[in-house]
């Protein structure tokens, strides 16, 4: 489903109020879950979470952490439940990016596996231990903050500055995975992507919890950006907040003639892709989508352009020092 409009920062107050009691119950349960202690995996564990349902920048942040760990001489591996994939209900295994598809392992693990080994399965502890047995000496989770799965040596919360925390309520009244203060209490640092007012307000609240705020930006791939500059495109995406993707395309100079937004993790049918191609052909435009959507498309997406982005920290030295401290305080088995 697409997030309802009243989940945003300027909500339909009447609808939000009508659902607020249910949201409070959801939030209380989620807050108690956050208090649980996960099992130690046996290697330094770095957990990335987002305050809200939908896209916040967790996957680019996880990729950036893995790259920094590799630069330190570590052998990082990603551990994921594999949202949307059949393996999410089964035994742990390593993702093969050349043979697996998103229906089996989920779109995010496929994307992650192109940068470092990625492991998926219903039991994250089993996946973590399999990764360690295969030689990993650092673990990165981009979907394990809100459950008592693995103990973290460094837990980060990512916020998209353009959206912040929406209306600040929990489902079904709003997008929050748990109450704001309950989430901040479990985190070690906040990653603020961008510098818009909604995110700045969250950053101010994080400082009252004593959390460092690591500012970052999503940087488009230079070659892809150059190829899209001045090009007429029909953009489509099935991600949490597709508006961010449209903005990125405009920022690199693409001329968007039409957009199509689908639900997060949407599995595209042959009919939908055929209709998108017809729309682009009629407009004299090219189709473009996100890397995450392209992972779900597989071979069906051949010929569709993407705009890869990478997360860059404004002060990478501060993040690198925090990684070093976390590594020094833990030991592998």
All structural domains of the chain: 45-74+137-217+312-328 (3.40.50), 222-307 (3.40.50.2300)
Is 70 exceeded by the pLDDT of residue 103?
yes
Residue 79's closest CA among 28, 142, 23, 37?
Answer: 142
- Separation of first and last alpha carbons in the chain: 42
Pairing of strands 286-289, 154-160: unpaired
Q: How confident is the model at residue 83 (pLDDT cuts 50, 70, 90)?
A: confident
Who contacts 282 (Cβ-Cβ below 8 Å, separation ≥6)?
none
Is 70 exceeded by the pLDDT of residue 333?
no
pTM: 0.92
Detail the DSSP E strand segments found in the chain: 45-50, 76-80, 93-94, 118-120, 138-141, 154-160, 189-193, 213-220, 232-237, 255-261, 286-289, 305-306, 309-313
pLDDT average, residue stretch 293-318 = 94
Q: How confident is the model at residue 88 (pLDDT cuts 50, 70, 90)?
A: low
The pLDDT, as a whole number, for residue 65 is: 98
Who contacts 215 (Cβ-Cβ below 8 Å, separation ≥6)?
192, 195, 313, 314, 315
In the predicted model, what is the mean pLDDT of the chain?
A: 92
Please give the angle made by the CA atoms of 225, 99 and 2, to the nearest 5 degrees. 55
The pLDDT, as a whole number, for residue 213 is: 97
Q: Poorest-confidence range of 84-93, 178-187, 252-261? A: 84-93
Detail the DSSP E strand segments found in 66-166: 76-80, 93-94, 118-120, 138-141, 154-160
Residue 287's closest CA among 245, 253, 259?
Answer: 259
Residue 81's closest CA among 136, 128, 44?
Answer: 128
Residue 140's closest CA among 114, 117, 170, 168?
Answer: 117
pLDDT average, residue stretch 72-77 = 98
Higher pLDDT, 226 or 107: 226
The pLDDT, as a whole number, for residue 332 is: 46
The pLDDT, as a whole number, for residue 29 is: 95
pLDDT average, residue stretch 140-153 = 86
């Amino acid at each position: 489903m697409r997030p309802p409009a009243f989940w945003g920062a300027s909500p339909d107050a009447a609808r939000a109020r009508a659902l607020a009691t249910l949201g409070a119950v959801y939030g209380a349960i989620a807050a108690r879950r956050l208090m649980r202690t996960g099992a130690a995996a046996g290697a330094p564990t770095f957990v990335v979470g987002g305050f809200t349902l939908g896209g916040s920048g967790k996957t680019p942040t996880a990729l950036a952490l893995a790259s920094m760990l590799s630069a330190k001489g570590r052998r990082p591996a990603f551990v994921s439940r594999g949202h949307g994939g059949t393996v999410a209900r089964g035994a742990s295994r390593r993702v093969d990016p050349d043979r697996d598809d998103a229906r089996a392992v989920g779109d995010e693990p496929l994307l992650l596996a192109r940068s470092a080994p990625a492991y998926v399965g219903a039991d994250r502890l089993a996946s973590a231990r399999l990764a360690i047995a295969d030689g990993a000496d650092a673990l990165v989770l981009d979907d394990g903050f809100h459950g008592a799965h693995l103990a973290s040596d460094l837990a980060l919360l990512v916020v998209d500055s353009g959206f912040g925390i929406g209306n600040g309520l929990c489902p079904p009244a709003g997008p929050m995975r748990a109450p704001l203060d309950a989430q901040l209490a479990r985190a070690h640092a906040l990653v603020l992507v961008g510098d818009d007012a909604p995110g700045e307000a969250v950053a101010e609240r994080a400082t009252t919890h004593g959390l460092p705020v690591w500012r970052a930006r999503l940087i488009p791939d230079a070659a892809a950006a150059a190829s899209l500059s001045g090009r007429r495109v029909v953009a489509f995406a099935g991600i949490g907040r597709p508006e961010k993707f449209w903005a990125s395309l405009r920022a690199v100079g693409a001329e968007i003639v039409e957009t199509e937004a689908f639900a997060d993790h949407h599995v595209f049918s042959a009919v939908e892709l055929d209709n998108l191609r017809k729309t682009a052909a009629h407009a004299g435009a090219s189709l473009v989508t996100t890397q995450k959507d392209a992972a779900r498309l597989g071979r069906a997406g051949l010929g569709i352009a993407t705009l890869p982005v990478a997360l860059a920290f404004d002060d990478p030295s501060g993040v690198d020092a925090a990684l070093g401290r976390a590594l020094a305080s833990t030991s592998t088995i």
